[in-house]
Chains A and B, each alone.
Chain A
Amino acid sequence: MVEPNLNDELLDAAIMDEGVAAELLAPGNGNPRPSSWRLYWRRLKKRPAALVGTIIFCVFLFLAVFGPWVAPYDYQTQNVKVRLDAPSVAHPFGADQFGRDIFSRIIVGTRNIFLIGGFGTLVAVVIGTAIGLASGYVGGTSDEVVMRLLDVLLSFPSLLLALVLLSTVGPSNFNLVLVVAILYIPMVARVVRSMVLDLKNKEFVEAARVRGEKRSYILFREILPNSLPPLLVEASMRFSYSIFLVASLGYLGLGVQPPSPDWGLQINDARNFLPIAPWLLLFPACTIAVLVVSTNLMSDGLRQVMLPGGGRN
């Protein structure tokens, strides 16, 4: 007898070993395999890290939407009595140099981060997808030219490029969104283009060409829907990086302008008080870290549940 050794890790391996499962469970016997979304959810449940990441992300998302109503204090109210107070029951993260509640400022600041990062990512995804689709499908010299132009954009360090752009056009929420978008368009475009290159010679696309489908139909009905899982993974990764970027720009004074409660801005302000009130810096910095890490965990989880085996279909 071989020692029975069944633990969760093995079960997990069994789930990922789809070759074995698919062969043993040949479909089509009146017992359809679960739909892909249900399969994703089932796999996600088996990955605690990804699940925790997703839950934390959802908490932040909730704060972004309902922050001002959830926060215990108004983010602008100054209470001179509690200036630079250490964390307490009344002010769990302490209070800043004007006596404003840091906990509330962090909560209310979530929305800005999500709006700028989210819209920036969204614009990048839309434009990047369009560029990737067109460039990949047309191919040839124009593809070559477009991709090299994007490479030029990619070759600048992103923070440097953001600084240059923002110092030219001036800091505003709208400009921040634009900058995030410009920085991330090349990356999204590359992901989409690689999917298009893979899909455009697949037989189902050729079958569409054989029946004389228009180019737009082939791109949007045949190719795009099949590029969505990797695109979603890429978008969530871009979003987590955009949080970083927006916070960094805020710290450098080129991001969200005062008196808006911005995390990066709070860290910058807190520098002067570091020796006497370290919590001023600690809590916003930790919040950024937690959000970035949880978003990363979530996008990692998404990658694992949606693209097992490194994206092979």
Chain B
Amino acid sequence: MPNVKVHVQFPENKIKEPIIYQIGHEFKVVTNVRRADVRETAGWMDLELTGDSTEIDRAIAGLRKKGVIVDPIELNVVE
């Protein structure tokens, strides 16, 4: 089953929202948090998404729609 590793960053106004829980319910993907640092003013997570490729793409688009920043696990690779 395809899986994608992403780095998710939460702006201050999104920190209290259960966004990862919502994504797991709204799309057919398994969310697996491997590393995270969530504080009062900012937060990030390294997240694995497992599911069909199209469903993973929809879940990533869904995360962005909810106002979080989603990047590949490597962050910016265009140098």
Are A and B a genuine interacting pair, yes or no? no
Chain B residues engaging chain A, CB cutoff 8 angstroms: none
Q: Which residues of A contact B (CB under 8 A)?
A: none
